[in-house]
Structure 1
């Protein structure tokens, strides 16, 4: 593989991750705005208290089921509250301005589109060079008859031009199917499902692979926290990681990545 193509794909992966981060922060702000406290940072943080309170309730319920002492249970609930509120604060305040976030999103999308176009040009050049080397028999093949590619509008991976659904992110790329799917799923329902079971909201959106990854990662960390409750209070150290990942998973489910 040419060095230039490797560099382009590395840049694409990096910018795609950054773009997804922006989409998650954007979805978090829109979600907190639904509480109708206001659209400022302080109002959104007040709305985030509701989400943090839900984690407190779940943690206290788990502590009662595990028959932990009241002091330890309250300590775990406090850690869950601060972790959920801290993760929400980062999503709301990074950056504080919605305009800056939107400008960053547009810039990243433009960068990804430009890199995908450059990648497609390089791949076309490699195909043409290969056809030239293989001889007249292959050069006689109509270029338009060979499979063409295009970038997925959601994850920007290269897919077939005739594909109806992206094999990487699971999103429908056919316009008619995409419109039907957009009507079929609701960001609020996706977020609630991922709160109940991490990754379930992604599966609800047909992002099965991503949902399974979220499920196994977060549940493994939660399982480690549960075991750590009985081992030298290790649950206090691992629970913040699980809660932070869970908060990100919730808003990842609500993020469309299209607008």
Structure 2
């Protein structure tokens, strides 16, 4: 028998011809298109799930519940059936926040089923992850779109809206859910908490002012150049101005760490 190389003994595939940059770009474009198709299908699925559940589609088909309907018609488990509802509710909340914006946008559509046509580039996993905090996601989206509109943009481009939505979902997924807040028994602690709340509220107002001058689409570095004169005029440091701007964008008090808090 002939000699075998070490690669052959381990079942390694024969060497392939080097991949050209043009072919690599072609493969990458195909992957990107496939991923976009999957994300768009999530939006379509979510809209149809929402409509089917709202219509109680299982009743005329003789099923006792949504769970039983999904199991019989699609062969999916109870957990999967309710995850579909989580996806639908999350996407509906996001769509409502986008279409309720203060400025006209090409993303607005009067068709109730328009959410199916929108592609925010969100995976099912991302939508499920924020399903319990859709109110927070919607509030962040509304606030950031309003800040962009107030910055002077006459219309929000779909790509801008998409970026705002994706960032809001990422921020909520990254932030731990807030712990239940109970009134402190100690009056001194309660008074201190009230002071902190007042400082945070003032910082948020300052941040909104900063956003009017340095819109949300500017990086911190770009915003610092724009805000330098304003901060000097109001007697505030640029660092504090940027921190307040980040707080106005995110609603996360950790953005104020090292400044007023």
- When normalised by structure 2's length, the TM-score is 0.24
Bigger helix fraction: 1
